[in-house]
Amino acid sequence: MQQSLSALVLAAGKGTRMNSRKLKVLHEIAGLPLVCHVIEAIKPLQPDNIVVVIPSGHETIGDVVKPATIKIQQSALGTGDAVKCGITDLKTLSGTVLVAFGADPMITTETLKKMIEAREIENPPDVVVLGFRTENPDRYGRLVLDNDGKLERIVEVSEAHSIDKPVELYNAGVMAINGAKIAEFLEELSPDNGKKEYYLTDIVGIALAKGGYAIVVEGEESESLGVDSRADLARAEAMMQARLRHRMLSSGVTLVSPETTFFSHDTVIGKDSIIHPNVVIGKNVTIGEAVEIKSFSHLEGTIISDEVVIGPYARLRPESKIDKGAKIGNFVEIKKAKIGEGAKVNHLSYVGDANVGQNANIGAGTITCNYDGFSKHLTVIGNDVFIGSNTSLVAPVEVGDNAIIGAGSTITKSVDENALSVVRGELKEIPNGAKRFRSRRQQDHKKD
């Protein structure tokens, strides 16, 4: 039977090395704040509640981390103090208290689950620490094991020279702690160190001194990445994109050039879809099966049905929906518009605030003039409509089913079903006018 679980996410570091007005954990990778990646990894474990510990003055983060709650750490007195502050808002202190860090976005649910399971065995450890192996240990604390393979102590990197035995595992920071004893352990912490802070890592020694024991659960090195600078943020983005690309490839999506394709954390793509090089997919995009996204296209906030072709050089903006079999061609921008099944907007057009019917054909250079300087207005284009090239549709306007709009028209009034509408100025031709114009200009040039 699963024991109760509560989670603390420590997010009180201001991140001065980020050189930003924004709290460190609110910087994004794959379109999601760092702290939200951590929360999303915790959610499937179904904790009783999640508390995010933040510094004073950043209360607005509460809107970002919902349904998690926030707790303010009034003074920056270290990780131990942050946990001591946060546990007062946990619903229960029985079972396990999971402690994670809001600037460590690569942590996975699978690894956290292993840590929780390690706390639920018979005669469980009081502390489970996440460790990893690395060939570049310069910035990481050491996990020192005893002869039985249990965790003896955590040594800060600055004190690594004091270790007199081989070390293979390094501290990722995440802990799963006995909830019934955590308050007692925290009371024993002391700021007797160079920074005069309360280190959560000291809890291992305290648990051992009280007759308990601690163990290490091993995870991947990538999960240990903490973001403290813009360079770290860039590394985290690259690692997350690699993870998302692998996920897409494994689910049956073809990526012609994976390293040039970028996804959001919430991107959904159906099998047998093909993504060509240099495609950027932003937040809130769902793509169906057998869809082809051609190069240099940018998508966000869009739902794309099956068998659609997009691009190249297409831009799909939020609140757009492309129905089955439609085609959105090169240098086309779609914004807050529904493009019906089988419709074609093949090139050099802007369709915004519009409903386009099934099998409609929108000619090159067509614009829905949806904004009058004050309000946005809707354009409705019916089924099987043909819109000639270089047409301006001045909203609000409606074009009925099976209507035809002649090229070069500016449509300011609704067009009936099956009607043919052409709005053009009368052609005026002046015989030999071009010859006389050039002659006059040449004479003027000589006078100058």
Residues classed as catalytic: 347
In whole angstroms, what is the distance from residue 3 CA to residue 128 CA?
Answer: 15
**Residue 138: how many other CB atoms lie within 10 Å:** 7
